[in-house]
Amino acid sequence: MRRQVLIIGAGASGLMAAIHAARAGALVTLLEHKEQAGKKILSTGNGRCNLTNLDQREEYYRCSQKGFPQSVLTRFTVEDTLNFFEGLGIVPKSRNGYIYPNSDQASSVLEALLLETKGLGVKILYECRVHKIEKREGRFCVSSSQGEYLADALILAAGSKAAPVTGSDGSGYELAAALGHKVITPLPALVQLRCREPYYRQLAGVRTEARLSLFADQTFLAGERGELQLTDYGISGIPTFQVSRYACAALHRKQKVTVTIDFLPHMSEKEAEEFLGRRRQSLGERTCGQWMNGLLNRKLSLVLLKLSGIEKDEKINGLSPRQWDRLLRQITAYETTVIAANPFENAQVCCGGVDTRQIYEGTLESRLVRDLYFCGEILDVDGCCGGYNLQWAWSSGAAAGTSAAGSGNGIKSSPRGTGHRAAAADGTVQKEPGRFHNKKRKGRT
């Protein structure tokens, strides 16, 4: 008899779980409380869908249980992801290791996933909100706004609290907690940071290459380099997103959070000091405002001069040693105090979630409730910007779906439907070398 698998949440991981469970022979039903599936997929990669990334280092995934994400990611790899989507008709392309569909349209990825679920006979119920989950005589009974559903196995793929407009409203955490699972406090991640200083309105709109160093109570937590965006309330841009989860956690612990910004990130401290000294010597007859011209954005330059206690009309070669030292520090080690992060509405993902120590890493089955599985953002796993969170969705969804269907610990199941890799005699997918498998990324930012 075919196992009946019920999945709550039709986002990236839920759709992946549905496809793999159905390919493994299960009867699959998806319950989605929004009016359509995969709304968050449509917003990824600025609407282009950054499917994954070729550079899969362990440190690009964060989790309270060290090693847990990698144990899942090594079972369904980037190569498996590329093969999977090529099998659905998606042609992947690489931008320095960042993988996108050749169409540059996230909608094409969602359409391919939905076409596959339809071809596999997966039933999707929309605007179906789950109220309660019980286990009766070894089966799950799920009460929802559209009635009760019974299943042999249940997968929670309900997302986090980030970007609730897409459906991630935190309701999955409540369901997990009701089933006895610990939920590590969800906090915004990959999000903008709000700063205390009053002059950010003067800096709004400035974009500049920078290196950020994040501190909590003067202890270094994280650093990142890339294009910094200055807003009317603080800092944004990829490097800010990358360190934001550490800032949010420190703020949650009531620590003082500061960020030191180096506006000459391509130089060491010594190189920057020597470079600026030579610039001062060669352009010594200029005013400080003129001397800053061409070095940094004008709005930023004027603020840094003001913070250094220097008038823009002063001659650069007339500065006192103290003034010069202050200016050097503002250019290479400007410090700002973080008072908050933007809310969940602005976050791409969350840090925190269902404690992975209560989950079997091989199958993503609960250690507490038999035949209950988890995948995607609901778990205490978050990745850096650059396709990592979608790779986690694909890998964890594949693991949970295959396992829930009763196919054991192996993730790869015999493909069904059209356009897929041929299956070997033992039922596993024959992996072909991904077209980008040997290419290396040039960097995350």
* DSSP calls for 222-238: EEEEEEEEE-SSEEESH
* Structural domain contains residue 75: yes
**CA dist 197 to 171, 216, 217, 334, 336, Å?**
36, 17, 18, 12, 7
* Structural domain contains residue 437: no
pLDDT tops 90 at residue 414? no
| Among candidate residues 298, 322, 341, the one where a domain is terminated | 341
Residue 431's pLDDT is: 35
* Structural domain contains residue 439: no
pLDDT tops 60 at residue 263? yes
Where in the sequence is the domain holding 42, given as residue range(s)? 4-187+351-404
Q: 100 and 157: one domain?
A: yes
Q: 145 and 11: one domain?
A: yes
Mean pLDDT of 73-94: 98
pLDDT tops 90 at residue 435? no
pLDDT tops 90 at residue 322? yes
Q: How many distinct structural domains can be found in the chain?
A: 2
Mean pLDDT of 50-60: 97
Query: Higher model confidence: residue 442 or residue 72?
Result: 72
Residue 68's pLDDT is: 98
* Structural domain contains residue 444: no
Q: 199 and 181: one domain?
A: no
Looking at the chain, the whole-number percentage of residues with pLDDT higher than 90 is 91
pLDDT tops 60 at residue 441? no
Residue 408's pLDDT is: 55
Residue 1's pLDDT is: 81
**Is residue 133 within 8 Å of residue 178, measured between CB atoms?**
yes
Residue 409's pLDDT is: 52
CATH number at residue 127: 3.50.50.60
How far is 178 from 133, CA to CA, in rounded Å? 8
pLDDT tops 50 at residue 66? yes
Residue 138's pLDDT is: 93
CB atoms within 10 A of CB 268: 11
* Structural domain contains residue 420: no
pLDDT tops 90 at residue 434? no
Label residue 425 by pLDDT band (50, 70, 90).
very low
Looking at the chain, the whole-number percentage of residues with pLDDT higher than 70 is 91
Label residue 4 by pLDDT band (50, 70, 90).
very high
pLDDT tops 60 at residue 416? no
How far is 406 from 431, CA to CA, in rounded Å? 22
- Residues 157-211 have pLDDT tens digits of 999 999 999 999 999 999 999 999 999 999 999 999 999 999 999 999 999 999 9
Label residue 145 by pLDDT band (50, 70, 90).
very high
Residue matched to tokens 């003129």: 290
Mean pLDDT of 328-343: 98
pLDDT tops 60 at residue 147? yes
Residue 412's pLDDT is: 46
Query: Higher model confidence: residue 408 or residue 419?
Result: 408
CATH number at residue 222: 1.10.8.50
Q: 314 and 255: one domain?
A: yes
How far is 279 from 294, CA to CA, in rounded Å? 11
Q: Regarding beta strands 334-341 and 257-262, do their DSSP bridges make them parallel or antiparallel, or are they unpaired?
A: antiparallel
**Is residue 220 within 8 Å of residue 213, measured between CB atoms?**
yes
What mean pLDDT is reported for the chain?
92
Mean pLDDT of 230-245: 98
How far is 56 from 58, CA to CA, in rounded Å? 6
| Among candidate residues 319, 341, 363, the one where a domain is terminated | 341
